[in-house]
Copies of this chain bind each other. A is one copy, B any other.
Amino acid sequence: MGKKSHHATRPLSELLRVGPGPVRLADRDPAATPGFPGKGKDDADRFTGAAAVDLSDLQERLYANSKVDGPPAPSVLVVLQGMDTSGKGGVIRHAIGLVDPQGVQIKAFKVPTEEERAHHFLWRVRNALPRPGMIGIFDRSHYEDVLVGKVDQLAPPDEIAGRYGEINAFERELADSGTVVVKCMLHISADEQRRRLLERLDNPEKHWKYNPGDVDARLKWDAYQAAYEAALELCDAEPWHVVPSDHKWYRNWAVAELLREKLSAMGLDWPKGDFDAAVERARVEAS
């Protein structure tokens, strides 16, 4: 698949990628639209729809590779992190929803259960990894253990400090075993979060999405931003992408496009069948 008009003007895997060195979220505009090839929401909806065709084809190739004998097929793991209302659910609905649901495994990580807390913090994450041929989606992830874990001091400081290295080792292990990791931090401004929380409160049909605990976290905004900066900087075994998310239309298009780029770079061919097509044709015709 070559360059198409709904593709980014430059690859998002470069434009949104966090480089080496200190990360300052305040220097990244959450309302920016890097690489967007059009003018606004209408274009974005059109481009996202066009991307669905490419994404469907690529996802089906990935899946097909797991359906024939041979070495384990690769898989993809999309990690979605972001403050409340940044749109992790919206991305799953509008971007991930473009591909065949049979090829997608979604896992939302909540406050750990008692059983999960009794294990190493990566235990529940390993249990939720995508099978070969699948696109796994993590709505929150192992990064919670260096985000809320750090902000609310849910473990001793030295234990938390050790987790960055453990996460790097874990993600290297994933890459080595054929899982392409796509890490996205959905970056919104505090003002945009206020607007979205008020919008939920103002519409009784959206009350179920509102959680008073979101305001408790909001009151620790700066501590969370600092914890994100540490995670983005220290967990560099697999690249992070900061997706400006004040514009929902940009955010959805960007994650779909980033996924398309990553799948495309895997160079997946259709697998060959392990049967003689002429023999099978004769069998079917005779039946």
**A interface residues, Cβ below 8 angstroms from B:** 64-65, 67-68, 89, 92-93, 96-97, 100-102, 104, 106, 108, 139, 194, 197-198, 201, 204-205, 207-210, 212, 215, 218-219, 270-273, 275, 277, 280-281, 283-285, 287
Contacts and interface: CB of A to CB of B under 8 A. Distances in A.
Contact of A101 (B106, B198, B273): B106
Contacts of A212: 275, 280, 283
B194 A280 contact: no
Please state the number of chain copies in the assembly: 2
A106 B97 contact: no
Given A97-B100, A204-B273, 8 more contacts: A64-B208, A67-B209, A97-B97, A194-B284, A201-B280, A207-B270, A210-B280, A215-B283
Contacts of A284: 194, 197-198, 201, 215, 218
A68 B212 CA distance: 13
The residue in A64, A67, A207, A284 that gathers the most chain B C-beta atoms within 10 A of its C-beta is A284
7 contacts: A65-B208, A97-B101, A101-B106, A197-B284, A207-B270, A207-B271, A218-B284
A271 B208 contact: yes
Contact of A207 (B97, B139, B272): B272
Contacts of A271: 207-208
